[in-house]
């Protein structure tokens, strides 16, 4: 991981970025709903993130991601999406399980390992497109 953030704080940043992309603004209420936690828990996490320079918490529930916060949130989200894609689309893990497991894995895998998983996923995808035998073997794994 090599981060000054706990898994939980990384999850807050990731959720904040998703909400920002979907709704155009981040609020305590939205984070509370997205993460299934109380508004008080969100406020506590935001204070920690603000102290570390990842967000600006302006009261009245208004939250701004700093540049540092956006970069970190984007990094975590990209890891999540890459892992979800590999688990769900390549290995055939059901959507819900892939979502949960990608969330756990995104916090512990190094960039090197994640890059290798992504490269393997791309290789498997391209090989399955051009090779019917490989595609058939891959299908047997997904069952």
- What are the tens digits of pLDDT across the range 96-142? 999 999 999 998 998 899 999 989 988 998 898 898 888 888 888 87
Q: What is the CATH number of the domain that holds 12?
A: 1.10.10.10
Query: How many separate domains does the chain show?
Result: 2
Q: What is the CATH number of the domain that holds 93?
A: 1.10.60
Q: Take residue 37 and report the two structure tokens written for it.
A: 């936690």
Q: Quick check: is 1 in a domain?
A: no
Assess whether 50 and 104 both reside in one domain. no
Report yes or no: 17 and 117 within 8 Å, Cβ to Cβ: no
Judge if 64 and 118 occupy the same domain: no
Final residue of a structural domain among 52, 69, 86:
69
- pLDDT tens digits, 55-94: 999 877 789 999 999 999 999 999 999 999 999 989 999 9
Which domain range does residue 103 map to? 73-142
Q: Which residues pair with 56 in a beta bridge?
A: 64
């Amino acid at each position: 991981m090599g981060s000054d953030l706990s898994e939980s704080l990384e999850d807050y940043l990731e959720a904040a970025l998703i909400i920002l992309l979907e709704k155009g603004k981040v609020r305590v209420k939205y984070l509370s709903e997205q993460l299934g936690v109380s508004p008080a828990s969100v406020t506590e996490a935001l204070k920690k993130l603000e102290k570390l320079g990842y967000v600006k918490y302006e009261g009245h529930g208004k939250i701004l991601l700093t540049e540092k916060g956006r970069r970190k949130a984007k990094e975590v989200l990209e890891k999540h999406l890459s892992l979800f894609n590999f688990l769900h689309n390549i290995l055939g893990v059901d959507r819900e399980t892939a979502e949960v497991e990608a969330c756990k894995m995104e916090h512990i895998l190094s960039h090197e390992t994640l890059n290798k998983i992504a490269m393997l996923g791309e290789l498997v995808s391209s090989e399955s497109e051009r090779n019917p035998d490989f595609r058939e073997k891959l299908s047997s794994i997904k069952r």
